[in-house]
Structure formats: structure tokens, C-alpha cells
Structure 1
């Protein structure tokens, strides 16, 4: 009985294969196979899936042939340029890879003697690995039409590089992988597929041109998943682990500082920045962060000193120059509040000192204004400049009126 059942199952599988072999449409053959998989051995499944690869690959070859002929006709300026099935080509590449992976899964399983003797692995790897580049073209093609489909093609390009089917292929020759991984990471992030976004960003970190942007995605993914105080602390610890591997990474350093500020962990921020400045006294980011920390504590003179040093490192940094102006403004305001506390009247000498401080603020804020040609940093200096001009020069002064217009 057992032998009869085995013979019956084998005959059934051969019949399915014969039916698939006669079918020319991939989807029809695919549906026939899927509905009969339960009655087939691994060897028979591999054989049938390989037939599906054949069908998809035939479509790829046909459309690639047309593309090649068109390119030759354009180069030679002779012959007719024919239309080709763009969408059909891209679908065929996906289908070929899907069936190729399924074929390989069953092809690599031990036979009845317990031995792995793949029949289709090498041939499918050799013919399918080169056609992956169409996935990039597909991703670009669908970018403005269907973002989800564009992401599917780009992510498949990245994922397919690591398929067991292609384990013998030389991945180091894939010049597009890390760059496409970045775009796949970006699309995954916008789709809120955070696990894939981080996975692809990690691959893109190996791209010299894309590494900084890839790190931004990785950090954004990590930040998007912070729900509790404990999550935030764990995030900071992860950042510190990353930073320990590359202390020259200014983005990570700045993010850690920002997280300490958000946690109101003044001691950790101070220690972290001091450690950085001990190794690199002219580090702009550390100086700017230390200046911000002083500002948060209303230590205006200390902030001005540190921020001026930061400006000596980056003389065109508008935000820091404006921050120095803000320090002088807040210093003048606090001095005025203190001088008039408990109903006291402001003495002429005190007024002069305060006005002088406001004028120092105006000097830096005007410098920031003049440098900010695109008004990108307007929110940092515009209202502060108007406030200082109003207080030091009066509401009717031309500078005050000009500054007021800039706040609108």
C-alpha cells in the first residue's frame, strides 16, 4: 500500500510538471503549482519552480532583446525602435526571483539518501543575479507613480543580494547596493517599517557618499520608537556605543548632547562635553553645546566666551552668532529686572550700562541678519533684534522700524 501511494504521488507530481511545461503564462502556471504543492516532494517542487523561473526568464530575455536592439538602432541611427513591455519586464524579474528562491529552498534539501545534490542552484544563480539591476530601474520608474511599489522593487534589490541562492556571487562587485540601500531605508522609514529602515540604513552606512544621511535615518528610526524614560536612556546608551567606535562622528556627538539636554541631565552633558574638549579644544560642536548649556543656566558671560570661541572655528555660523546676540539681550534684560526690583527706579548710570549691553546684542544680531541671505535662521535673530532696537534706540528709530518689519 505504501509503495502504491508513493508511486501515485510521483505520477501526480509528474502530471503537474507536464501541465506546467505546456503553459506559457507565468501566473497560470504559478497558480497551478501553488494549488498542488501539498502532494509533491521537495525534489518535484524544485523541478516545478524551476519551470516557473524559465517562464519568467523567457519574458525577461524577450524584453531585454528588444531594449538591446533599440539601443543598437539608436547608436547606428538605423532600424526601427520598437516598444517593449516595461511593466511586464519588471514583473518578470520579481517573479523570476521569487520562484528562483523557492526552487533553491527545495533544491537544497537532502534527498532520500540524506545528501544535498542541487540540480538548479548554480544555473539559476548565474542567470538571475545579473538581472537584478532591473529592480533599480523599476524603483525609479514607479517613484512618481506608486511609492509603495517603488519601495518594493528597491528593497527587493537589497534583500536579494543576501539570498542563499546568490551566496557564491561576488557582492563586492555590486557598486549599487549601498546606495540603493539608502533609498530603501528612506522609503521604509516613511512607510513606518522601522525594522527594515534600520536594516537598510546599516547597509547604507558603508557607502562613503551616503553614510551621514544613512546615520540620520538610523537615528530617526531609533528616536521614533522612544516611548518611555527607560527607552530614552537605552537610546542614549546605544548612541554612546556607536560613538565609542568613532569619536570623530560629530552627528552622534551632537545627538547625545541633545538627548542629555532633553533629559535635563546637566551633569552628564557637562562631563561629556568636557571630555570632548579635553581631546579636541577647538571642536565646534562641543563648544556650541557647552555654550547652549551655559545659556540654559543663564550664565551669559560664560556662554558668550565659549560661543565666541566656536565662532572663531566657524566664522560663518549664523545660528551661533545670533546666539551670542541673544546672550547679551538676556543679560541686559536680567540686569534691568534686577535694577528695578522692589519698585526701584533705574539710575542713569545703570541705564547707560544696560543700553551698552543691548548695543552689543544689536551688533551680533545685525551681523547674523546680514549673513542670513535666505532668511533660514530668521527665527533666531529677527524678534531679538527688534526687541533690542526698541529698548536701546526707541520705537521711532529707523533701525527699530526696519527690525519690526523683519519680524512679519
Structure 2
């Protein structure tokens, strides 16, 4: 009895498999008659059914359905353009069909190259699909452009990434499609649309391909850089981002945006030591980089290293004598140094200063005054630097009542 049951199960399974394979054949017949929607209805379940023994044939039938639909609409389009009669045709259907056809062809090849029940590989559909898509895949470019112009970013990405990825798919074994004239351009568009979709991993992937072409390298590197920046989730991501940024800065040292992005990165909390190391690298690479000297001075000023800060700022002034922010900051540093010096030299009991020590403090204050008055002279309306309060402090400390009162009035006190 058990043997009979097993035989019945086997017969039933064989019948089901036979029925599913017949479905594939029926779908192809409907396709050949141009009944594409009906063909799609019956082929779709067979693609994933365990009863379908020939998945490669099923996917190839789906490929045929979509491609023949695409080809039919494309023919109508061509005839309309020749006749100039404006005959309507399904533009959306045409572009969606070539995308779906290409996907199905690649899936067909994936199953086709799998070993059969005897462990042998017998590829049946590859040659026909190579002939169809070696040139036919070019239609993916226009499909992507149509979808992109109609704000369908998902399908635009699908079309353009299919175009790039299919060139290296096993379906095109022995055919080199990686050197075509459109590869870099479409890789750039694939990277761009991926970035716009916030799919940063894909954006990086395709931007790297586009960047291999010198004509697209600059634009592709922008996508690569900002995708990496947006995708900084781990320490490794951050290091990858700053590595790309440094490479681009090295390639184009006069491009301010790369320097500014590095400055932004190293200005983040907790990166003070890294920032100083980077600035020293910048100065070594270009001793005439006034911004590097100014930023070094700023870092030293924030650490209350007044002498070091002043020296760095003076280096920046040697390069640009009218660097107003640096002039102002030297004044601030020297004023702060004078305040600190006064506290250090003051008598521990009385808080007073000897004449000699007072003169030491005044000497530094007068140096501060020189720079702060120069800042006032260059920026009288205080649009770039607000010199009023530091100048009031200096005048007051020097005992210049008239000038300190003038500043106090300016401050509204």
C-alpha cells in the first residue's frame, strides 16, 4: 500500500510539472500572437513555482513577452516618425518593457547556467539573448532618460544600472561590453540618480566607474565624495570619506571647496589633534596657504597658546597683509596674553604690580593696540570683526580714559 501511495505521489508531481511546463509553452504562444497581457498572467506564477522544472525556459519566455512588446511599440514609433502622422504609441510601455525584458534575460541566463539533474551545464538561451541585447541594451539608456525626466527615479536607476551591470554579466561571456563609448556617461547618471535616491552605496559604486574616464572624473568625484560623506556611519566610513577628500584636494590644491570640506571635517568635536596634524601637513605642502596658517593660529588661540597663535597669524599676514580676521585675532591674543601676564606678575598679597612689571604688561597691551586699531581702521563699521569691546579693554587697561569712554559709548554702556 505504501508503495502504491508513493507511486501516486510521484505521478501527481510529474503531472503537475508537466502542466507547469505546458503553461510556459502556452504563454509563448500567446506572446507570438501579440497577446502580451494574457501571456504575462499565465507565465508569472510559473516563474516561482516549484512545479516548473525548466525555470530558464520560463524566464526566457518572460523575456520574449517583454521584448516583443517593446519591439512592437518601437516599430509603431518608427513608422509614426517616418509618416509624420503623430500616431499615438505607448511610450511608457515601451521603456518599461525593455527594462523588464533585460531583467528577465539575465535571470534566464542565471538559471540556464545551473547544472541539471545529471550535474551537467547545457546553456540553451545565451546565444539568442546575446544577439538580441548586445545592441538592444542600448535602449536602456533612453528608457532611463525617459523615466528620469518624468521623475521616476526608481526606474531610471534600474535602467541605467542594468545597462552598466549587464556589460559584465555572465550572459555576455566572451563579449567585451565594458569599453563602449557610453559607459562612463551612463555610470555617471546611475551614480547621480542613486545619490538623489539616497542610495549612497550604489552612488559610490557607479561614480567610481564613471571616474575612470578622465572626461567624467571631475563630476563623478563630486558624487563619490558627497555620497561617502552622507554615508559616514562608522569610523571606517569617515576615514574613507576623508581619504577621498584628501586625494581630491591633492589633485586640485587650488579648489577651495576641498580645503573647506577638510576644514569642516577636522573642526568636528574631538578632532583637535587630528586637525593640527592636518594643518601642519597643509603648511608643509604649501607654505603660502594663508588659510592653513590662520586656522593653525585659531587652534592655538583656542588652546590659549598666545605666543604660538600670534606667530602663526603673523605667517598668514605675511601672505595677505589685509587679512582682517587675522589682524583682529592677533590683537585678541595679545590682549589675552597681557591679562594673563598681569595675573602672573601681580603681588600675591596686594595684587599690585611693580613699575617694571607694569611696563611689561603695557608693552604687550600696546602691541595689542596696534593690531586692534588697524582692525578698526580697515573695518570701521564692524561688518567683519567686532573690535569695539576688545579695544575698550585695551584702552581701559592702558589708562586711556578718553578713548575707553569713546568705546564705552559705542558699546551703548
TM-score (norm 2): 0.68
- Give unmatched runs, 5+ long, in structure 1: 74-78, 313-320, 367-380, 401-408
Pairing 1:16–2:23 present:
yes
Pairing 1:170–2:173 present:
no
- Give unmatched runs, 5+ long, in structure 2: 1-6, 302-307, 344-350, 353-357, 393-402
1:365 and 1:131 map into 2 onto residues whose CA distance is: 66
2:377 and 2:157 map into 1 onto residues whose CA distance is: 50
1:349 and 1:244 map into 2 onto residues whose CA distance is: 43
Q: Which SS does the other structure have where 2:94 is aligned?
A: helix
Q: Which residue does 1:289 correspond to in 2?
A: 292
- Among 29, 47, 51, the alignment partner of 2:57 is 47
CA-atom RMSD in angstroms:
4.4
Pairing 1:187–2:221 present:
no
Alpha-carbon contact 2:283-2:292 (below 8 Å) kept: no
2:107 and 2:388 map into 1 onto residues whose CA distance is: 71
What is the aligned length? Answer: 358
1:167-246 mapped onto 2 (5 Å cutoff):
167-227=173-233, 231-232=234-235, 234-235=236-237, 237-238=239-240
1:1-400 mapped onto 2 (5 Å cutoff):
1=7, 4=11, 8-9=15-16, 11-23=18-30, 24-36=34-46, 37-41=49-53, 44-70=54-80, 72=82, 80-143=85-148, 144-227=150-233, 231-232=234-235, 234-235=236-237, 237-238=239-240, 248-249=250-251, 258-262=264-268, 264-275=270-281, 277-278=283-284, 280-281=285-286, 284=289, 288-298=291-301, 299-307=308-316, 324-336=323-335, 356-358=370-372, 360-361=374-375, 383-384=383-384, 387=387
1:118 Cα shift? 1.2
Cα deviation 1:210-250 (Å, max 9, x = unaligned): 434433433434443445xxx33x34543576689888345
1:123 and 1:364 map into 2 onto residues whose CA distance is: 77
1:309 Cα shift? 6.8
1:33 Cα shift? 2.2
Alpha-carbon contact 2:143-2:159 (below 8 Å) kept: yes
Alpha-carbon contact 1:282-1:310 (below 8 Å) kept: no
1:71 and 1:339 map into 2 onto residues whose CA distance is: 84
1:33 and 1:257 map into 2 onto residues whose CA distance is: 58
Cα deviation 1:95-144 (Å, max 9, x = unaligned): 21122122112221223443222111121122124233333323333334
Larger Rg: 2
More displaced, 2-11 or 138-147? 2-11
Cα deviation 1:66-110 (Å, max 9, x = unaligned): 44445556xxxxx53433321011111112112212211222122
Alpha-carbon contact 2:279-2:295 (below 8 Å) kept: no
Q: Which SS does the other structure have where 2:226 is aligned?
A: helix
Structure 1 residues 240 and 162, CA gap change in structure 2 (3 angstroms): same
Q: Which SS does the other structure have where 2:212 is aligned?
A: coil
Cα deviation 1:135-155 (Å, max 9, x = unaligned): 332333333433344333333
Q: Which residue does 2:399 correspond to in 1?
A: none
1:295 and 1:8 map into 2 onto residues whose CA distance is: 82
1:304 and 1:244 map into 2 onto residues whose CA distance is: 24
Cα deviation 1:145-194 (Å, max 9, x = unaligned): 33344333333333333433234432333333333333333333343323
